Chain A
Amino acid sequence: MYGNLIDALPAVLSLGNILAVVVGVIAGICVGALPGLSATMAISVLIPFTFGMDPLVALGMMAGIYNGAMYGGSIPAVLLRIPGTPAAVATSFDGYPMAQQGRGGYALQVAVVSSALGGIASALVLMLLAPPLAKVTLLFGPTEIFWVAVFGMSAIVFLLGGDIIKGLISAAFGVFVSLIGVDTITGYERYTFGHLELLDGINIVVLLVGLYALPPAIGLLEEVRDFDTKNTGRLNTTSIWKAIPGMLKYWKTWLRSSVIGVFVGILPGAGGSMAAFLSYNEARRASKNPDDWGKGEPEGVAASETSNNADTAAALIPALTLGIPGTAVAAVMLGGLLIHGLQPGPMLFRDNPEIVFGFMWQFLFAAILLIFLGGALATNSFAQVLRLPRPLLGAIIIALVFIGVYSINNRMFDVYLMLGFGLIGYFMDKLKFPLPPVVLGLILGGFAEQNLRLALRIGGGDWSILASSPTAKVLIAMVLLVIVSPLVSRRLRARKASKVAG
């Protein structure tokens, strides 16, 4: 198998194929950076054109777009507090405060280096460990996936923010949104009010753009006063090559977040946002100064960006070996493979090694190229966008968001829905309701509900199925650990404090 890996290399290194990856990365950074446009959309647009293309050219562009977009999403997340992609939400927690403190340039450099490292780690795992990791995926049935969702929820309680009640209301709203649509198990329609468009539930991009992109864009429109455009266009950055040595202290975070990203990637149906949230939280728990997080801690940007890129190639492991598209992007990529007669499955690696392994190399190159293209070129040119008058910038973003949301399913209904969420998001913002719990409620709530019910159905209604497999038992132990350990450490700290006082 590793021989195949080497055999596939020469074809990948041909000029046309390298160029495809370069073009893909640049295009990916652009669509990622534009709120409302996503990698899924860019690859869908590409699909019809790939017919006439050589498979490696088409796949190279896709790999480039996927990697580029995962980083590109962090650019508006840092500069404007508008995550360009769902997976960049956690990046804005610390990235935007850094930008407000005038360290936006450094935040973007941390983001691009972390993205590249996460992508490289992920590509290496895909190249070297895909078949054995596919066996790990098989261990996760509905029961186990349910526990992963519970683990995610219990680990991420901190996102509720300062006001627990408001945080819980936000989370409950997210769970409510996850209920909308046909219940896939019984077929009942929930809160669809007879609209066909609601039968499949609410696309996360529609919700996210409404909540996260519209309110800040409206905020930009509100800033009519003239301001100093001379200085904001510069991010006060040193060259990226000089900045890298200073970042080496994040190596632990890079490593931890890569592992988390890869793990979430091989789980069926989880996705990059969950990877980013989980690794942000783990990095914060491991940090010596957790109270500074959310106020401009570069390590927070590193954690989230490493893992959302570490999710990309890893998500292709279940996609290529089992045909499970873990994310919307992976689903479209599978279509790209199918068009060239490449059926996902174990045979893919045997029948078409030169293409499959070539594709993996391209993922690796795309991740490496991120440093050059993202770090050196794109970051500075996107910073120029900030020199635009704010109301104009706001108007452009709103127009982009309309196009992006319309193009998901080619219908206006989603645009209206997005506007509704925008209104909700605007008032949530003004009333200081935290937004991240809504996203988590939507992702994890739906995930937990569906898998719990599938598991119970498989077990014929017997709850003991939830603890029946070794994998499930390990996950339960992890959940308990996450819930109990803060309580214990708080008790210990309190005792120590009282001893000192006494």
Chain B
Amino acid sequence: MLKRTLATILLSALSATAFADYPDKPITVVVGYSPGGGTDVLARVVGKYLEKALGDDASVVVKNQPGAGGQIGFTSVAEAKPDGYTLGTFNLPAALALTFDRHAAYDADSFDYIANVVHDPNTIVVSRNSPYHSLDELIEAAKAKPGSLSVALASLGGNDHFSALLMEAAAGVDFNLIPFEGASMARTTLMGGHVAVGTMALSQTVGFEDDLRVLAVLDDQRSSYAPDVPTAKEQGYDVEMGSYRGFVAPKGLPDALESRLEAAFRHLADNPDLRRELAAQGNSLDIVVGEDYRRLAEAQSDIAGDLWKHQPWK
């Protein structure tokens, strides 16, 4: 008994010193998308600031494991050793939504949630030449011809898709959903007048103000990027959807490390340089740490699960 206690004390003392040195080797951030993509660039930018926030010559390395809509990367994070040296970028609701529509080796409980970094609300958007000037006009047109108003989506089963499904449910209409390969293809077909409406994320409309007209932001408040655009809620449709990008660790991260990492991210929340750098990419900083982040993820998972039950997307 005594031996065991001693061993435990010794071990914890050892590990405590081990944590004190953390990080004594590079921290790998697994990105489930290709180099140069939005999530990859985010990981590299945040990684740079995270190094400074952690101090002690910390170094953060990005490792791209693209494929299956990010699933290969998410899975590899979930299955990594929870030693604080493997983190991963985490995209909500996509990462958890895909666990409903296909087999996945992880679920919402497979991770320790460190911090969300960016929140990007979806929109309802039309081309500048479109006859629709408000959400009501659009919904009326959709009611007049059920199933014929074409809506461009960035992909199947992502936040663009969920925005359209939630909008259908809230307004009691039927759209004609067209999943493209990527947000920029969806945007281009919308600008070219080949489809009528888009549900792309707000960041995708930044820089295209001359060509697009955003009718509504699907968030609980107006965005600083488009202060003149009303939310859907203001226009009488209770729809909120957006994408969240943050950082998770494999489940079972020692508490000491978790709080160390969370503190580092909290530190980033009021970093003006990071805010400016993200703003240049059309992203708004929205740091949500630890337990709050877990609740956010679970809520997003529930929304996706609910949609899957009532309006399965495939």
Contacts and interface: CB of A to CB of B under 8 A. Distances in A.
Contact of A196 (B40, B72, B189): B72
Given A346-B210, A454-B180, A51 B48 contact: yes
B69 A199 contact: yes
B184 to A, nearest CB: 4
Nearest to B104: A196
B178 A458 contact: yes
Interface stretch (A133-141, A159-167, A233-241): A133-141
A438 to B, nearest CB: 22
A338 interface: yes
Contacts of A48: 44, 62
A184 B65 contact: no
A491 to B, nearest CB: 39
A335 interface: yes
Contacts of B194: 141-143, 458
B187 A322 contact: yes
A432 interface: no
A244 B66 CA distance: 45
Given A325-B184, A332-B35, A346 B65 contact: no
B110 interface: no
B191 A343 contact: no
Contacts of A333: 36
B63 A185 contact: no
Contacts of B48: 51
Interface in A448-494: 450, 454, 457-458, 460
A189 B157 CA distance: 14
Given A324-B185, A345-B207, A454-B180, A187 B36 contact: no
A51 B36 CA distance: 12
B56 interface: no
Interface string A268-284: 11000000000000000
With a 10 A CB-CB cut-off, give which of B34, B63, B71 has the most chain A CB atoms: B34
Interface string A137-179: 1111111000000000000000000000000000000000000
Contacts of B181: 184, 450
Contact of A457 (B178, B184, B210): B178
Contacts of A411: 65, 67, 72
Best-buried of A409, A454, A460 by chain B (most CB within 10 Å): A454
Given A194-B103, A197-B72, A410-B64, A339 B184 contact: no
Given A48-B62, A139-B192, A458-B150, A346 B208 contact: yes
Most buried by A among B37, B66, B67: B67
Interface residues of B, number: 58
Contacts of B243: none
B281 A322 contact: no
Interface in A15-34: none
B313 A343 contact: no
B282 interface: yes
Contacts of A325: 184
Contact of B191 (A184, A186, A322): A322
Contacts, number: 144
Contacts of A196: 67-68, 71-72, 75
Contacts of B187: 322-323
Contacts of B184: 322-325, 344
A345 B314 CA distance: 32
B176 A457 contact: yes
Interface string A171-209: 000000000000011111100001011011000000000
Interface in A393-412: 409-411
Contacts of B209: 347
Contact of B314 (A187, A348, A460): A187
Nearest to B276: A341
Nearest to B36: A335
A44 B36 contact: yes
A333 B41 CA distance: 12
Nearest to B48: A51
A325 B35 CA distance: 13
Nearest to A47: B35
B210 A324 contact: no
B36 A338 contact: yes
B67 A197 contact: yes
Contact of A268 (B38, B69, B188): B188
Given A48-B62, A137-B192, 17 more contacts: A44-B36, A138-B191, A139-B192, A187-B314, A188-B314, A322-B188, A324-B185, A338-B36, A345-B206, A346-B208, A409-B65, A411-B67, A450-B181, A454-B178, A458-B176, A458-B195, A460-B147
Interface of A: 43-44, 47-48, 51, 137-143, 184-189, 194, 196-197, 199-200, 268-269, 318, 322-325, 331-336, 338-339, 341-348, 409-411, 450, 454, 457-458, 460
6 contacts: A47-B36, A324-B188, A332-B34, A341-B277, A344-B184, A454-B180
Interface of B: 34-38, 40-41, 44-45, 48, 62-69, 71-72, 75, 101-103, 147-148, 150, 155-157, 176, 178-182, 184-185, 187-189, 191-195, 206-211, 277, 280-282, 313-314
Q: Which 10 interchain pairs have the tightest Cβ spacing?
A: A335-B36, A187-B314, A141-B194, A341-B280, A345-B207, A138-B192, A199-B68, A323-B184, A347-B207, A332-B36
